[in-house]
Amino acid sequence: MTTSQEEISDEIAKIQADSPRGAPLLDFAPYRSTTLRHPTKEPRHVDPEGAELLAPVFGHSDVAAIEADLTVQRGGEPIGERIRVHGRVLDGDGRPVRRQLVEVWQANAAGRYPHQGDQHPAPLDPNFTGVGRCLTDDDGWYSFTSIKPGPYPWRNHHNAWRPAHIHFSLFGTDFTQRLITQMYFPGDQLLALDPIAQSITDPAALARLIASYDHSRSEHEWLLGYRWDIVLTGSHATYLEPSDD
First-residue to last-residue Cα distance in the chain? 30
As a whole number of angstroms, the distance between CA 206 and CA 9 comes to 17
CA distances from 66 to 11, 43, 96, 110, 144 (A): 44, 39, 23, 23, 10
- What CA dihedral angle connects 26, 242, 185 and 131, to 10 degrees? -130
- Residues classed as catalytic: 113, 152, 162, 165, 167
Measuring CA to CA, which residue among 143, 182, 176 is closest to residue 163? 182
Beta bridge partners of 110: none
